Amino acid sequence: MSKQNLSNYIKFLNHITDLEQKGLISSKQKHLLKMNLKTKEQLLEKLICSFEDEHNNQNAIFSYLNVIEPKTRARCHSSQENEAPLMFRNNHNTHSQVTSFNESRLIAHLDDLNDELMNIWQSESQLLFNQEINEKLKKVGELIAKTATSTPCGSQKQVINAIETLSIIDGLKQLYKDLKQHFNDYLRCHILLMDNQFTTQNLYKMLRAFMKNLVDADEVTFIINNELYTSTTEQFQDIQITEKQQYEIDLIQDGKVIDLTEFYPELGALFQTNQYKSNYVLRIQNSQCIFCFHLKGERKTIIRSFLSLCNEYQFFDEVNQLGFLLLESLKQARVQCFNPLQLSHMIQDIGIAFIRCSKYVFIQKVIEMLQERYLVYKENTSFSSDYPYVEFDFRDSLNLSIYICMDLNKKDEMNVYKQLNLSYNKYLKFIKQCYDRTTFYKFFVKSQDSLIFEFDKQGQITFVSQPITKKLADDFGINFNSQKLNSSYKSIFRNQDLLQHIENQLQEQNQWILKDSNAPYEIFMKMEEKYFKGFFVIFQQGWFRYDHQKELDASQWNKLRKTIMESETKLYLDKLEQKHPQLKNSVIQMFKPKSIQKQSLFKNFSPSFSPNHLDQRNSLQESENVRRIPKTKGVNHFYSDMLIDTCIENINNQNFNILPYSNDWLEKQKVVFQILKNNNFIQEYKINETSLCNFLCALEYKYNKRGNQFHNYDHGVTVMQCTHAICLEMMNTKHGQLLTQFIKFALILASLCHDVSHTGRTNIFEINSLSNLAIRYHDKSVLEQHHAATSIKLLCSPSTNIIPNFNSEEFREFRKLFIANILFTDITEHYNLMKSFEARTCEINFGTKEDVRLITGMIIHTSDFAGGAKPFPISKEWSVRVNKEFQEQYTLEGKFGYPQLPYMKDLDQLPIMAKSEIGFFTFIVRPLWTVMSKFLEDRLKDNIDNLDNTIIEWQKLMIK
């Protein structure tokens, strides 16, 4: 083969890949072209030899396809496997067969056709199906026309079913596309902020675009401190609230979004709701503001009903945040005091939160769509049906699932079900991508020394991280207008060198490239990548300097109390680290409040982090899957009579030790059972013993399924036992009466469940790996929220519900306490909790409901380190276990290029582990137990003695 030919072959292969991606040829056609290339088909050989320029080549390929295609259809088909009887397949191409009517043959044909349609529709090459599908649909239509009049009802029904199936499947696909399109567009509205002369008018425009995109609202009105603001006039005006208006205002429940149109005549008149199609009102939390969104509803948008779903799907917090942002921004606009970068952060946080919630729009629309054809029941209705049904679990933290009466043995119903799965998964993936992008964006918004432009695959601008300084604009001939949302890079960059550089890079069309690193700018690109098809231009320090520092100080957005507490904690930690320099790289870092941690974390993230990172996540998931082989040795079923008549040593005091039973699942369950019994919970709350056995079984399984070294059922039971023992001590103190039976139950059960389904990694790892959990819980107490949700799910499921006798109010209260307790086990709450608790115990009015929350939080948090507070040999075993888990994580982080935490390094070497443990016990565990013990009138002295001894023993091991 000559060199010329070789390059033509490569060109040809690139071409057809390109054509397929653009949807100009089908994957089948591409396959065919490749086959013919392999078999050296003569015409094709000629064509390739005569390749000239791109345009002509393309046309040559098209006409080649036209010439050869009829042959291929037949060939492809006969080689394809399908379920239709063989005789029909052989006859498939003779159209006349269809008209000579035969019912079973017709059905077979329809089936055949249907299969083909499904294959194409559900294939990944999305771009091509519109064209192709239409063609196929036409054929189905023809078939119907030919047969329907003479067909008995049986097959006519078949035809109608097939069409209905197609329309539902089409609807599901369209839903995915529409929602995705909508939120992709939203991501652009950030550009509006990036004006060097950011004016009030820009702000208004930006806020309008923002709320229109997120909740389809056109105008807002709100009342705050006897002033009424309406966005139509952009004015505040003084008002006197009448008694009747006040009455209606008082009716607005906290935490709910209310459709104002119906029952609020006075407020309706005040807010002029009759000018709009829908009006939603809410009380902004922690402020006196009554806030109203107005929707004109001229144009039907996909997120039309978003706000009306808020109460059912529990995303009040997000709506509240949006309202708060609008309220604060509009208030600030009055005094001309706002900061685009700060706004940028807030709109990204809120934006991504709404994108996450947009899946409820998806879910709601799916339900509506399916209801047109199937019976669909939402969870919570006691469901049973004679007709076959499937449960579709939306895998959401709300535990949403629906029951659809469909028979998966029927091919068309199976296809609908498959499509539902496919579309939903794709949408979740899209949400994840948005999350990735936001993380990436935020990095650059924060950056002091770089500025990034992002362009989509058409070369249109999608993101700018900061306002363009004049110097940068002058140096590179940048002509950027923040108000033009669809500018192309050609109109933005005027500098010929830069443009040429971009063009060159674009032509290479391959991996992320960082070339010409001596140039004052860098261009990253990724053209063929699944996640991102555009490119970035990054300007690095030296050329770019942000000169708006002054405005940063003017911000008054953070809540004062939190800021003070954080800065106090930071001060304390700084001092501590000054005194003990070894702590800087120690496990103590994990206990810092997240806001302090984050700054140091971000230092480890380099811009090149993101692209590589996205690729690596897939391989991470693979390796995680391997690890997730269930490792529980637990027995699936046991009965309550196996649990009675036991006498467990030290079950009611701090000398209890679970390690001897580590391999005895039954003994552990006996411990749990005995503790519940000793507290009289089983009797008092009429806990059904079968449900209890089921619950404990499920719990043990979920704790142990990953085979974690430390965060397993042994740890859960130990923490529960310790909590139980501390409660017994507390009952004998002057504060004993604060622990009611109900509060104790929520506390002790929470301590048993507090680490269920633990991944064996820290929150930081979950966040850095952008794991599903991190995304689900917005990086906030990721694992803790997961433990709580998992437990609550068990408590809601009929077979494992041990508290079915609670009425709904009791359950709500129980759930609240239970979750709050688990959230206190997030170690980044450590300093805040200690500080608040110490401060409160000194107050005269100590004993409020909030104080009891702090007490139970302290008890569970202290108990979380129960293993460590045992005599040294036992304590050491727990330390070894947890350090093994850290070590494993450190290795994985290295493998996937996530920031590695230095204090997790080399923990398998005893002196290094000893050093780490000394810091941990001296500065975290011992102070914690000391505060707890003091509160319990010195009843935990023995544990503190143990801790002192443990520190001494570790010191010996460090020196060795």
Contact set with Zn ion (CB under 5 A):
755, 864
Q: Of the two residues 465 and 828, which places its CB atom closer to Zn ion in the complex?
A: 828
What is the closest distance, in whole angstroms, from the C-beta atom of residue 787 to Zn ion in the complex? Answer: 9
Q: Distance (Å, rounded) from C-alpha 666 to C-alpha 574? A: 47
Q: Of the two residues 566 and 755, which places its CB atom closer to Zn ion in the complex?
A: 755
Q: Of the two residues 822 and 907, which places its CB atom closer to Zn ion in the complex?
A: 822
What is the closest distance, in whole angstroms, from the C-beta atom of residue 825 to Zn ion in the complex? Answer: 6
Q: Of the two residues 522 and 864, which places its CB atom closer to Zn ion in the complex?
A: 864
DSSP state of 468: P
79: number of Cβ within 10 Å = 7
Structure tokens at 29: 């056609």
Residue with tokens 């690109």: 525
Judge whether 910 and 837 are in contact, CB under 8 Å: no
What is the closest distance, in whole angstroms, from the C-beta atom of residue 506 to Zn ion in the complex? Answer: 51
Q: Of the two residues 755 and 893, which places its CB atom closer to Zn ion in the complex?
A: 755
Q: Of the two residues 685 and 703, which places its CB atom closer to Zn ion in the complex?
A: 703
Judge whether 420 and 392 are in contact, CB under 8 Å: yes
Provide CB contacts within 8 A for 773, sequence distance 6+. 759, 766, 782, 783, 786
CA separation (Å) from 656 to 408, 757, 875? 52, 24, 12
What is the closest distance, in whole angstroms, from the C-beta atom of residue 873 to Zn ion in the complex? Answer: 21
Q: Of the two residues 758 and 815, which places its CB atom closer to Zn ion in the complex?
A: 758
What is the closest distance, in whole angstroms, from the C-beta atom of residue 923 to Zn ion in the complex? Answer: 19
Q: Of the two residues 522 and 755, which places its CB atom closer to Zn ion in the complex?
A: 755
Q: Distance (Å, rounded) from C-alpha 424 to C-alpha 430? A: 10
Q: Taking each helix axis as running N to C, give the angle between helix 54-79 and helix 42-49, from 0 to 180 degrees, rounded to the nearest 10.
A: 160
CA 58 from chain center: how many Å?
42
What is the closest distance, in whole angstroms, from the C-beta atom of residue 623 to Zn ion in the complex? Answer: 24
What is the closest distance, in whole angstroms, from the C-beta atom of residue 777 to Zn ion in the complex? Answer: 17
Judge whether 34 and 16 are in contact, CB under 8 Å: yes
What is the closest distance, in whole angstroms, from the C-beta atom of residue 720 to Zn ion in the complex? Answer: 11
What is the closest distance, in whole angstroms, from the C-beta atom of residue 882 to Zn ion in the complex? Answer: 10
Amino acid at 381: T
Residue with tokens 């411990």: 671
Can you list the alpha helix ranges (DSSP code H) found in 372-410? none
What is the closest distance, in whole angstroms, from the C-beta atom of residue 793 to Zn ion in the complex? Answer: 19
Q: Of the two residues 118 and 756, which places its CB atom closer to Zn ion in the complex?
A: 756
Q: Name the residue among 306, 301, 298, 339 with its Cα closest to residue 322.
A: 306
What is the closest distance, in whole angstroms, from the C-beta atom of residue 758 to Zn ion in the complex? Answer: 8
What is the closest distance, in whole angstroms, from the C-beta atom of residue 867 to Zn ion in the complex? Answer: 9
Sheet holding 290-295, edge to edge: 235-238, 227-230, 219-224, 290-295, 278-283, 258-259
Q: Of the two residues 132 and 864, which places its CB atom closer to Zn ion in the complex?
A: 864
What is the closest distance, in whole angstroms, from the C-beta atom of residue 754 to Zn ion in the complex? Answer: 6
Provide CB contacts within 8 A for 186, sequence distance 6+. 213, 214, 351, 355
Q: Of the two residues 155 and 821, which places its CB atom closer to Zn ion in the complex?
A: 821
What is the closest distance, in whole angstroms, from the C-beta atom of residue 701 to Zn ion in the complex? Answer: 18
Give 178-240 as a DSSP string: HHHHHHHHHHGGGGGG--TT--HHHHHHHHHHHHHHHH---EEEEEETTEEEETTTTEEEE--
Q: Of the two residues 465 and 704, which places its CB atom closer to Zn ion in the complex?
A: 704
H/E segment holding residue 215: helix 200-215
What is the closest distance, in whole angstroms, from the C-beta atom of residue 719 to Zn ion in the complex? Answer: 6
Can you list the alpha helix ranges (DSSP code H) found in 580-641? 594-603, 609-627
Q: Name the residue among 927, 920, 861 with its Cα closest to residue 719.
A: 861
Structure tokens at 898: 């996530």
Q: Of the two residues 866 and 940, which places its CB atom closer to Zn ion in the complex?
A: 866
606: number of Cβ within 10 Å = 10
CA 873 from chain center: how many Å?
41
* Residue 522, φ and ψ in degrees, nearest 5: -130, 145
Range 856-865 burial, b when 16+ CB lie within 10 A, else e = bbbbbbbbbb
What is the closest distance, in whole angstroms, from the C-beta atom of residue 714 to Zn ion in the complex? Answer: 11
Answer left, alpha or beta for residue 199, where phi above 0 means left and psi between -120 and 50 means alpha. Answer: beta
What is the closest distance, in whole angstroms, from the C-beta atom of residue 715 to Zn ion in the complex? Answer: 6
Q: Distance (Å, rounded) from C-alpha 5 to C-alpha 2? A: 5
Bridge-based pairing state of the strands 278-283 and 258-259: antiparallel
Q: Distance (Å, rounded) from C-alpha 142 to C-alpha 162? A: 14
What is the closest distance, in whole angstroms, from the C-beta atom of residue 817 to Zn ion in the complex? Answer: 18
Residue with tokens 């991944």: 759
Length of the chain: 960
Which residue(s) pair with 536 in the sheet? 454, 524
Q: Distance (Å, rounded) from C-alpha 725 to C-alpha 300? A: 60
Judge whether 431 and 359 are in contact, CB under 8 Å: yes
Q: Of the two residues 462 and 791, which places its CB atom closer to Zn ion in the complex?
A: 791
Judge whether 586 and 903 are in contact, CB under 8 Å: yes
Q: Of the two residues 318 and 864, which places its CB atom closer to Zn ion in the complex?
A: 864
Residue with tokens 């629906």: 402
Q: Of the two residues 412 and 755, which places its CB atom closer to Zn ion in the complex?
A: 755
Judge whether 947 and 924 are in contact, CB under 8 Å: no
Q: Of the two residues 15 and 787, which places its CB atom closer to Zn ion in the complex?
A: 787
Give the chain's radius of gyration (CA, Å).
Answer: 32
Q: Of the two residues 132 and 885, which places its CB atom closer to Zn ion in the complex?
A: 885
